[in-house]
Structure 1
Amino acid sequence: MTLDIVELKRKIIVAPKSSSELFEKAVRECKKAPNPGIKNRLEKIKRKNIDCINRSLQFLRRKLTQIYARSPYIDKLHPFYRELAYLLIDTDEYKLCMSRLRSSQRIIEKIARESIHGIRLAQTERDVIKAKKMFFGRTFSVLNTLDKCFKIVRNSQLEILRFPEVNVNDTTVVIAGAPNVGKSSLLKAISRAKPEIKPYPFTTKNVIIGHIISGDKRIQLIDTPGLLDTPLSEKNRIETQAILAMKHLASLILFIVDPTETCGFPLDFQKRVHDEIAENFKEINLYVVLNKGDLMTQEHYKNYLEIFGKEPYEIVSALKGTNIDRLKLKLLGEIQQL
């Protein structure tokens, strides 16, 4: 079972910047131990220092548990997010660090038990202080060995917190096409509410998310400006892999074409983008929608057929609203058959 990304982000407790930061907070917890109402001086000092160690232990146990228990388990992420995480994180180091956090917690608990035992057996105030110092000295050493792990886990968590918040359980239509063909205008025209803009990892781009609501059916639409609008062969390896992660989201792809070429890109270029997307998303149905139908002439349509070699799925005008409702109905029909 995969967790919703919003819930996953909400659960994350970000690791400290360094081991010393955590240690200093543990020491401050110790200082909060109250003075016990015991008349015997030695017993009073024993009780105060046992309380001190217990307070520090409880703090460290809580923080370490929160970090490893509430951080994402990569293998349990939805395939879309898992693939993005594999690009982002050295998963071997990440898993090793999670294991080390757990084992270090157990070691600190053992140190605390031994120190408290030493305090209970102490015959002098000096023995009490010595046992307390042993706890903090050994605990500092254990935490110090985790310093690199805290940085690895923290950096990984911060990157995961930047993941785009898409609903992986929604049926998803990815909108692709060359720049300026009207993808965003089409998304706005068929979406029920104002689209949301989300950052996309490994790129300087954003994705734009809208929805179609029909009864209890919700379709998520994702516009990909700057991502699926130029040939993938022109992108770097990391950016390409991040884009291809969308295959785990897409139920179908709408490829938007501007037959008038007023977008600034000739049909030959638009066909090249189309073919590379079709090649890389073979398992996903791809439908061509002609936009700017209000400007399209017979000559434009003829040129489109010559270059693309197939009838379009639909002809619309996002600007004028022409055939938008018909496109919605056709999409709903396609989704019901998936």
Structure 2
Amino acid sequence: MEVVDKAKLPYVYTVDELISMFLAAYGREEARGSTAEPAFLKQKRLEIKRIVASGKALASTLRKMALGMPFLDRLHPFYRDLVDVVFGAQLYKHAVAKVGNAHLAVRAIAKEAITAVRTAPDKKALLRARQMYKARIIDLLNDLGPELEKLRDVATFLRKLPSIDPNLFTIVVAGAPNVGKSSFVRCVSTARPEVAEYPFTTKQIHLGHIHLKGDKIQVIDTPGLLDRPLSQRNKIERQAVLALRHLAGVIIFIADPTPHSGYSLEMQASLWREIKTEFTAPAVAVLNKIDIATPQELERARALFNPAAEISTINCHGTKEVVDHVLHKYYVPQALEKLRARARGA
């Protein structure tokens, strides 16, 4: 399965840019040939050259744009489902197909225009053939407007998405909004996600790394989840679900025992139970904000979550120990098994 190569994503032109490109390619061709050639024949030959040059340039651009976009069926399930959640898989496929097939329509229009030019009996008919050619191409491009906009949106979204490698061991950080997930990722990895004191600051998946000797661990900060069925969740929440489903080697669930996140302990506990039930990756609960939580709040949270650790992301207290724990318990056995497999293969 392929991952998205952002360096290979094409520039997706707007309708206006394509029209300008088409007209510029048409106008670049100049008359050449013997001065003894009759003016009308010379004009016909120039018109055909302009049609061939502009049609070829436009058809090539449309085809390259479509072929440069990722093919969903070849992508890793994480990327494939992500495009489906945010943009709709069928709408995206339709847009790629329509833009890609448009190069055939351009060639057909050009072919018909060349025939009309060759058979034009006079200058008036030649002018009509030229105007008809330009008008049909511009109409075709205007009709591609929604599909071009869709491809631009997808390409922009994928360029902004972190370069996630589904083959690396990945720690996915999950929890309700505003419980300290982004702060945790800042503490333990190279990521620098935005941190703010209001819900839904993390509107996209953010990626950080932990560098070990000869290896690299991914840490993914997901948008906050709310406790409701998947079908009722918004696109931001469903991105987090996809990360949990497709990428997680282990899930660190961060809970806030205080009222500061705006979400009750009962709601967070329900979400914790759902994650443990719905996802195959092992999950570890961690209590955050112990620097401001009361003894009563901590006692109640411990009973609900049976946490593996208690931390404070305001000063990164205990965060390194959490990562060391999950790596030793879940990553090291996998790494050792890979080494044994390589040794057996050798």
TM-score w.r.t. length of structure 1: 0.76
User: Unaligned 5+ residue runs, structure 2?
Assistant: 335-346
Are the equivalent residues in 2 in contact too, given 1:15–1:151 (CA < 8 A)? no
- Equivalence for 1:57: 55
- Which letter does structure 2 place at the counterpart of 1:287? V
- Equivalence for 2:93: 95
- Equivalence for 1:314: 309
Distance in 2 (alpha carbons) for counterparts of 1:47 and 1:12: 34
Q: 1:336 aligns with which of 332, 335, 338?
A: 332
1:137 counterpart SS class: helix
Q: Give the fraction of aligned pairs with identical amino acids, expressed as a percent.
A: 25
- Equivalence for 1:109: 107
- Equivalence for 1:84: 82
- Equivalence for 2:341: none
- Equivalence for 2:343: none
Distance 1:130 1:2, change over 3 A: farther
- Which letter does structure 2 place at the counterpart of 1:306? A
Superposition map of 1:247-258 within 5 A = 247-258=245-256
Distance in 1 (alpha carbons) for counterparts of 2:106 and 2:264: 66
CA drift of 1:135 comes to 5.9
Q: Identify which range, 36-45 or 295-304, moves more after superposition.
A: 295-304
| Offset from partner CA, 1:85-125 (integer Å, 9 cap, x none) | 22344544543454444444234324434554676687x7x
Distance 1:206 1:97, change over 3 A: closer
Are the equivalent residues in 1 in contact too, given 2:290–2:298 (CA < 8 A)? no
Distance in 2 (alpha carbons) for counterparts of 1:113 and 1:268: 69
Distance in 1 (alpha carbons) for counterparts of 2:2 and 2:80: 10
Distance in 2 (alpha carbons) for counterparts of 1:75 and 1:234: 23
Are the equivalent residues in 2 in contact too, given 1:80–1:245 (CA < 8 A)? yes
Distance in 2 (alpha carbons) for counterparts of 1:260 and 1:290: 10
Distance 1:259 1:116, change over 3 A: closer
Do structure 1's residue 155 and structure 2's residue 150 form an aligned pair? yes
Distance 1:186 1:196, change over 3 A: closer
Distance 1:65 1:212, change over 3 A: same
Q: 1:291 aligns with which of 288, 295, 298?
A: 288
Q: Count matched residues.
A: 321
2:322 counterpart SS class: helix
Q: 1:34 aligns with which of 30, 33, 49?
A: 30
User: Unaligned 5+ residue runs, structure 1?
Assistant: none
**Over the residues paired in the alignment, what is the CA RMSD in angstroms?**
3.7
TM-score w.r.t. length of structure 2: 0.74
Distance in 2 (alpha carbons) for counterparts of 1:32 and 1:105: 21
Q: Identify which range, 262-271 or 80-89, moves more after superposition.
A: 262-271
CA drift of 1:287 comes to 0.4
Distance in 1 (alpha carbons) for counterparts of 2:261 and 2:100: 56
Distance in 2 (alpha carbons) for counterparts of 1:101 and 1:234: 33
Are the equivalent residues in 2 in contact too, given 1:254–1:286 (CA < 8 A)? yes
Distance in 1 (alpha carbons) for counterparts of 2:259 and 2:44: 84
Distance in 2 (alpha carbons) for counterparts of 1:249 and 1:38: 68
Do structure 1's residue 275 and structure 2's residue 253 form an aligned pair? no
